[in-house]
Amino acid sequence: MTPDLSTIWNWLDQVPDPEIPVISVVDLGIVRDVAWQGDTLEVAVTPTYSGCPATSVIAMDIETALHDRGITNVRIKTQIAPPWTTDWLSDKGRAKLTEYGIAPPSPAGGPDACPRCGGTQLTRISQFGSTPCKAHWRCDDCLEPFDYFKCI
Amino acid sequence: MTDQTALFEYLLRLGDNTLVLGHRVSEWCGHAPVLEEDIALANTALDLIGQTQMWLGLAGEVEGSGRSADDLAMHRDVWDFRNLLLVEQPNGDFGQTLMRQCLFDAFHLELLTDLTRASDDRIAAIAAKALKEVTYHLDRSSETVIGLGDGTEESHRRMQAALDLLWPYVGEMFTPDAVDDAMLAAGIAPDLKALRARFDTRIDAILTEATLTKPDSTYAQSGGKTGFRHSEHLGHMLTQMQWLQRAYPGAAW
């Protein structure tokens, strides 16, 4: 019996992002579609940034997770259009990012508040950070540096 | 020239620009003046290399001879590269690197904006993806050019010198040839004259704010995107970039 798609989405929601393991690949919004093509499960994945080195690891993690659940034929399809946007981050994912110490993306172009103390006096240190998807900020209230998930 | 040949050539230009600039920028890794800039440069290089995979991947597909993006990047020599002369110029100091970046980013952003409306869906999709990253690149490079241009006497002097040095390489971006004309006719590439006007508006605003003076001369070096005559710098760069595939052809891991 082939598992239904909602079960598969639940399984994928347990595959952590390799660089920010508190959120899943589904939270990140990069799993765009899951569909059966005959006895092959096709998973459409979109890259966050075109050069993100995590992309191939993510594809492998998804394949492994599905194999572990007994799905033998998995095909990962890279889909670049429409391009990934941080609007696709789930609410659950945004909350988890904050809890983890990463300010979630905000359309204002910068973080709303410090993920540690909630302070709103913030200074940008660099437009780039430890991974392509993040920028580096500092809270002027608690003086701690923190990562901000860039809004794109 | 058939449409397929022109399309292949055009895709090589797009992919070679991002490949060569991506490699140049990556040369800063571990050498930038401060840690934040080091990370910013490495991330910019990473975006450009990612875009290269898409452009050269599509070029290989269009060519139809079974060459992958890696084959095209690593198994061609200088005369087969189709990048602009601007992007192969050496890094110089940090200011010169950022000036080169800003001039290219301003062109790249306008070009990609138009390519998102290309008649070929594959090109439009890659352009839309790359445009998001390049918007970010230009934000940073223009802010840095402004900060250093309108900075100390020393930083101003260096940025003006960088602009004077690199300006003769700007014209090539906007000088159409048979490949550009064929792509324009196919509804893929934009009219470079219209693009130049938008580039000028953007660059003039940045340079004015940076208190820098745009050189008077309209003299333009050429020969990069046609492959007719690259500057000597590209060959030296390729010996670094391709050394492993030259020493161990086809090596994979």
Task: Write down the pLDDT at residue B153.
Answer: 98
Instruction: Give the one of A125, A130, A152 whose C-beta lies nearest to B132's C-beta.
Output: A152
pLDDT tens digit sequence for B12-32: 999 999 999 999 999 999 999
Task: Write down the pLDDT at residue B238.
Answer: 98
Q: A95 CB contacts (<8 Å, ≥6 apart)?
A: none
**Which domains are delineated in chain A?**
5-86 (3.30.300.130), 101-149 (no CATH)
Task: Write down the pLDDT at residue B231.
Answer: 97
Q: B-chain residues within 8 Å CB-CB of A127?
A: 40, 136, 139-140
Q: A-chain residues within 8 Å CB-CB of B140?
A: 127-128
Task: Write down the pLDDT at residue A52.
Answer: 83
The residue of B39, B105, B143, B144 whose CB has the most chain A CBs within 10 angstroms, and thus the best one to mutate to test that interface, is: B39
**Which domains are delineated in chain B?**
3-247 (1.20.1260.10)
The residue of A19, A124, A128 whose CB has the most chain B CBs within 10 angstroms, and thus the best one to mutate to test that interface, is: A128
**Model-wide pTM > 0.90:** yes
Task: Write down the pLDDT at residue B109.
Answer: 98
Task: Write down the pLDDT at residue B3.
Answer: 87
Strands A40-45 and A31-37: antiparallel
> If DSSP codes are grouped into helix, strand and coil, which group holds residue B166?
helix
Residue B252: which pLDDT band, with cuts at 50, 70 and 90?
Answer: confident
Residue A1: which pLDDT band, with cuts at 50, 70 and 90?
Answer: low
Contact B133 A47 (CB under 8 A): no
Q: B197 CB contacts (<8 Å, ≥6 apart)?
A: none
Interface residues of B toward A, Cβ cutoff 8 Å, are 36-37, 39-40, 43-44, 46-51, 53-54, 121, 124-126, 128-130, 132-133, 136, 139-140
What are the DSSP calls for B193-251, one per residue? HHHHHHHHHHHHHHHHHTT----S-------SSSSS---HHHHHHHHHHTHHHHHSTT-
Task: Write down the pLDDT at residue A149.
Answer: 94
Q: Say how many CB pairs under 8 Å bridge A and B.
A: 66
Angstrom distance (rounded) from CA B40 to CA A96: 26
Beta bridge partners of A147: A102, A136
Of A139, A151, A38, A134, the closest CA to residue A88 belongs to: A151
Contact B36 A47 (CB under 8 A): no
